[in-house]
Amino acid sequence: MGLFGRKTEPENQATGAPVTLDGGETVTATTVVDCIGDSCPRPQIFTRNALGKARSGDVIEVKIDNPTSMEALPPIIEENGGTHLGTLRRSRHWQVLLKKN
């Protein structure tokens, strides 16, 4: 059994729905990483892995509901060759959008 009782990394969805960022730009994620219910360090690890697999220009959406993990994501994004596009608050989670440089 894996860390915190989960056997493997969550299966990432291939694409997400179009999302309009605060600045008005609309992006569509090429990969969606579902970290709902996960706590540190799992969301950071899964985000880093998704960035490592992404191609330049790919948009990644991370769904996360843990406040501490959410706050730790922007530095991880920049350290691993990505750009933080925005974080949107949803009813029960945050939707973090990033782009691979």
Task: Tell me the pLDDT tens digit for each residue of 51-87.
Answer: 999 999 999 999 999 999 999 998 999 999 999 999 9
Q: Is the dihedral of CA 22, 101, 43, 15 positive or negative?
A: positive
Question: Which residues is 8 bridged to in the sheet?
Answer: none
Complete domains list, the chain, with CATH: 3-100 (3.30.110.40)
**Band of the pLDDT at 8, cuts 50, 70, 90?**
low
DSSP classification of residue 36? T
pTM of the predicted structure, to 2 decimals: 0.84
Residues in the chain, overall count = 101
- Report the alpha-carbon distance of residue 45 to residue 81 in Å, rounded: 14
Helix (H, G, I), strand (E, B) or coil at 80: coil
